[in-house]
Amino acid sequence: MVKKVSTSEARAHFGDVVNSVYYSKEPVAVEKKGRVLAVLISPERFQRMQDAEDRNWEIVESAWERVPERDADEVLAEAVEEVKQMRREVAEKRRAD
């Protein structure tokens, strides 16, 4: 469950909120009137997201290089399947750890 704080609470206790995210590695959602405006995440989680995005683009580029004469929608569908497979492998690895 993601911890939620109001914008006024986040403003008043910003250092504490940041430290909470850093040390607990758990995200904190900042809300205003019940609507999430931002989410603070740990540097490690951010790096994992960046790495995953880079891998996803590598998959798309690799698929495109292998089949440049194919329709872009077909290439996208292939890339989506490869990303799904990668996510399954990551999930399996996390469960094993």
In this prediction, residue 67 has a pLDDT band, given cuts at 50, 70 and 90, of low
Looking at residue 97, its pLDDT comes to: 72
Q: Cα separation of 62 and 70, whole Å?
A: 13
**Residue 2 main-chain phi, psi, to 5 deg:** -80, 130
Q: How do residues 4-62 score in pLDDT, each as one tens digit?
A: 999 999 999 999 999 999 999 999 999 999 999 999 999 999 999 999 999 888 888 88
What is the rounded radius of gyration, in angstroms, for the C-alpha atoms of the chain?
19
**Global confidence as pTM:** 0.59
